[in-house]
Amino acid sequence: MMGRRYDPERRQRIIDAAIAVVGERGIGGLSHRAVAAEADVPLGSTTYHFATLDDLLVAALDQVNAEWLADMERWERDAPPDAPLADGMAGLMEMLLTGDRKRLELEYELYLAALRRTSVRPLAAAFLDRMTELLVRRTGDVDVARAINALFDGMLLQVLLTGREFDREEARAAFARVTG
């Protein structure tokens, strides 16, 4: 009889596979079977590590959020302290929209899953709180930081949903109105 194969990376491969499946098929395409096939693991491995699809979705969102926040922390840390925040936010939006568009769409799809899946809401809320904390470093005002975050998400979603061209000057002007 063959013993169980030691595979310490299996859980991570399953999470990565879930992210890939959602990126290719959307959240509606997420299933233990699809993830097992993508991760090249037995179906029982996905249910062993993640009893429900919501558990798997939470793990995927947690990883995507961690990557997004790391990118935002780098951006905030590297931005010149005296540069106008409106310019920085418009530049960040432009960078995101001209970068890996599929990744950006995936991040928002996972983020918006919280609308229908209550298990995901605490992660989405924690993500918003962390983004606000990062922006407070620049604004010194939590209300302004929240408004900037809402404007940022709203403008990005509008571009993603409508396919219209991103207008950096329009974005800069909108951020300047919010930042004062």
- Cα angle vertex 155, ends 87, 110, to 5°? 120
53-179 shares the fold of 1-51: no
Provide DSSP, 64-96: HHHHHHHHHHHHHHHS-TTS-HHHHHHHHHHHH
Is the CATH number of domain 1-51 3.40.50.300?
Answer: no
CB 140 within 8 A of CB 176: no
Q: Give the pLDDT confidence of 77-133 residue by residue, as tens digits.
A: 888 888 899 999 999 999 999 988 888 888 888 888 888 889 889 988 999 999 999
Mean pLDDT (the chain, rounded):
90
154 membership: H or E segment, kind and range = helix 142-162
pLDDT at 104: 87
Q: Is the pLDDT of residue 14 over 80?
A: yes
Taking the domain 53-179, which CATH number applies? Answer: 1.10.357.10
> Does the predicted TM-score (pTM) go above 0.85?
no
Q: What is the CA radius of gyration of the chain?
A: 19
